[in-house]
A and B are shown apart, each in its own frame.
Chain A
Amino acid sequence: MPSAKETLKPSSIEELIKIVASEENLVALGGQSIRKAEHYDATVIDMQGFDQILEYQPNEYTITIQSGASLKEVAATLEKEGQYFPFDPPLADEGATIGGMVASGLSGPGSQRFGSLRDFIIGVKLIDGCGRLIQGGGKVVKNAAGFDLPKLMVGSLGSLGVLTEASFKVFPKPETFVTLIFQYERIDQAHAQLLRLNTSKYVLDALDVDDSGGLVIRIGGKPEALDERIQNLNSFLGREAELIRDKEESRYWDRIRDFKTLNSDGFLVKISLSPSKLLDLDGILAPQNAPRHYSYGGSCAWIRWENEIQELDTLLSKQELAGFIIKGETRQPLVGHLPQRAFIQRIKQALDPHSKFPLLT
């Protein structure tokens, strides 16, 4: 088992630059809600000293935050102004930081409405492998100048540089949410309705399918329109939904978003998926008794995997699917079909020529 060599906690950008310039084998971590320091055979940079919200102007729909800031605190700040991250990032309660959120590239069920994290990040500052502070994007919601480093950092798992701050677009939060559960006997029945809903006129804040055949829909907006919208969905699906409202409703999604419904100790894995491939994947996972949840309208699966990770790697490769190991000790966080390795390698070479930061695959 690898163990972290040393943990450094810089308190200024200058100090951070010095560390990157002088050390060899580095990994930057935030709240360690998905990976712990001891999982790395490297010098750990603890980023939690960089915890400030630098700029927040609700009327601009933008916020700029240091990477070590707690996601939970940022979410609470947005909430006070009636705004939110529509991409619904997970693990706030487990101490996730903004930097970790970006590096892991994790988004939640709410992505169904307006898109995922990549669609909301508008600017970044990072220390590259040459120890230089560089920025991409900016602080305005629309910007086409320069290469899109903000998006490149999403899912980069610390391999390209140490993120110091990021700017995001945020949106007004719907006044009220209500959740509709349509329980089917089998998952293929729920899946068939998911496909219909995905191309329908109904605007959904979440569209999930669980491994019991539950089709779960979240809608949000002005309270006076919700009853009519519920009726419309009931008649579209030809059955009566079980409704969840208020506090119970938000708790319901907290559990899904934080993977609490996947009861098992195995590897927690995100698989990027297309709705049309959902049933094939489920057909492979069901016999293994892997707990699983399909979110984002069938664009992603979260599963628990109790067997060897190599087996999952092989299964996903055969399906031409790729996964990211959110939790569980592994040297290779990415598994499955990854045809773009060569491209990533070129970008990595450009930003981290001395390979100071972790490799991806």
Chain B
Amino acid sequence: MDDFLSELKSLFPDDRFYTDGPRMVPYESDGLTAFRARPKAVVIPENEDEIVATVKLCHEYEVPFVARGSGTSLSGGSLPIEEGIVIGLNRLNRILEVNTDDRVAIVQTGVINQQVSATAACHGLYFAPDPSSQTVCTIGGNVAFNSGGAHCLKYGMTSSHILGLKVVLPDGEVMFLGNDSLEFVGPDIVGLYVGNEGLFGIATEIHLRLLPLPETYRTVLASYSSLQAAGDAVTDVVSSGILPAAMEIMDRLAMDAADAAVHAGYPKDAKAALIVELDGEAAAVNAEFDSIIEIIEKSGADHIHIAQSAEERMLIWKGRKSAFSAVGRLAPDFLVQDGVVPRGKLGEALQSIEEIGRKFKMRVANVFHAGDGNLHPLILFDGSIPGELEKAEELAGEVLRLCLRLGGSITGEHGVGVEKKEYMAEMFTKDDLDAFHRIRKSLDSKEISNRGKMFPSGEAQSLSQHGLHPLEKAGVISRE
């Protein structure tokens, strides 16, 4: 054991410091299971002091670290590297305070997303960001990757819901950024911090903005004979002047998978399903919902199903949110992409994705946040056939380039991580990336915090094939 490891070992009891054995396995990969690496060590701190001591030691010895929560990243954001260590943060899982007057919850980094809303519910409040992995993903991970969800068009991404952060910078310095106010003075450094992909150190305590629970939800599921028709309906809704809380589209393949998994009751003959949801004050929402139904009736929907109860609404959403892992039933393996296109180009994008799929002779299922143009093509393949994974990756790359060509982004909510870092140079110029790099260096002169992520041409990652995340296979988590 080298000096670094001996010193690190001295900071933790044996049951919270591992260098080998089966306990290491869960930390070797995350939601992007095609990548895997064994770190030098895994430590499980239980408090901020242990985090600070660990980070300081890493800084001193120039050893890279990856901080992670539940490891649900779909971009390989919490993938370790062999010469580095993993800091597992799940034990910092306390909700420290719910301040109802200020609508703020103060939580530790390892708190599970859904627990915040569950705890705040008795005060009539909730935490709006709702990534599909919300039953297991941690707030620390949501902050690092600026997670999204189905309700981003109206409510914004995670960064719109973070007010303050206690952070341990990559050199071990502890700082508090932000405040408990929705307003701030000076540059929005909380805004800069959120979505840093783990490159700015570790947020240990997070001050979350809570919102009052909507009085009512009105949800409609409409089916169409083509994706194009569903897409046109989205345009009609958008032009109507009504702002929906969510608009989602699934194609036939995704519906089949979701139906098989959770019996969501999607129409059997439809080529596309559109979910539109409004939320808010009953009097206002009911008036708007009448208009939405009128628009959908005129849009040529074959079948319109209006959720009549909270249970029916949950079933519609359960089907949608389980679609990713459900697609796992259709093929041994899949890759999910996360590109964004301007909403008006959705039709063009979907058609091109279909053509790309044909070219590669691979099946692609589509589930997407139509309201904000965030695509989630699911590329199905069989990893046991040599070359299939590489082919799927190549197909994914073409989809990302397509999104850029149409004026969009390579990622809407999963982040760049390991998976998309080589595409950063296609989305940003050399000068842009250099500015990002200078910002990184100003906070992490040795570049030890989540080294190998976001920036192109870092150390090569070894591809391997491991299929679904074990938790997904068990049906515990699902993907956005």
Contacts and interface: CB of A to CB of B under 8 A. Distances in A.
A299 B176 contact: no
Contacts of B415: 144-145
A105 B185 CA distance: 8
A115 interface: yes
A333 B284 CA distance: 41
Interface in B389-443: 407-416, 420, 424, 427-429, 431-432, 434-436, 438-443
Given A132-B435, A152-B192, A221 B185 contact: no
A148 B195 contact: yes
B284 A147 contact: no
Q: What's the interface size class on A, roughly?
A: 35 or more
Contacts of A275: 101-103
Contacts of B148: 142, 144
A173 B240 CA distance: 11
B340 A143 contact: yes
A133 interface: yes
A152 B191 contact: yes
A145 B424 contact: yes
A344 to B, nearest CB: 6
Interface in B265-287: 280-281, 283-284, 286-287
Nearest to A202: B281
B387 interface: no
B156 interface: yes
B179 interface: yes
Interface string A268-289: 0010111110000000000000
A132 B438 CA distance: 13
A334 interface: yes
B410 A152 contact: no
B435 A119 contact: no
A134 B427 CA distance: 12
A59 B344 contact: yes
A4 interface: no
Contacts of A152: 187-189, 191-192
Contact of B187 (A155, A273, A297, A323): A155
Given A59-B239, A300-B181, A144 B157 contact: yes
B69 to A, nearest CB: 17
Contacts of A145: 409-411, 415-416, 420, 424, 427-428
Interface in B437-451: 438-443
B342 interface: yes
A157 B186 CA distance: 7
A346 interface: yes
A128 B409 contact: no
Given A147-B439, A172-B243, A346-B442, A61 B288 contact: no
A128 B373 contact: no
B146 interface: yes
Contacts of B194: 148
Contacts of A133: 431
Contacts of A62: 342
Closest 8 CB pairs of A and B: A151-B191, A201-B215, A272-B183, A350-B442, A299-B182, A172-B241, A156-B187, A324-B185
12 contacts: A58-B239, A105-B188, A138-B408, A140-B408, A142-B413, A152-B191, A156-B186, A157-B187, A232-B283, A334-B185, A346-B443, A360-B186
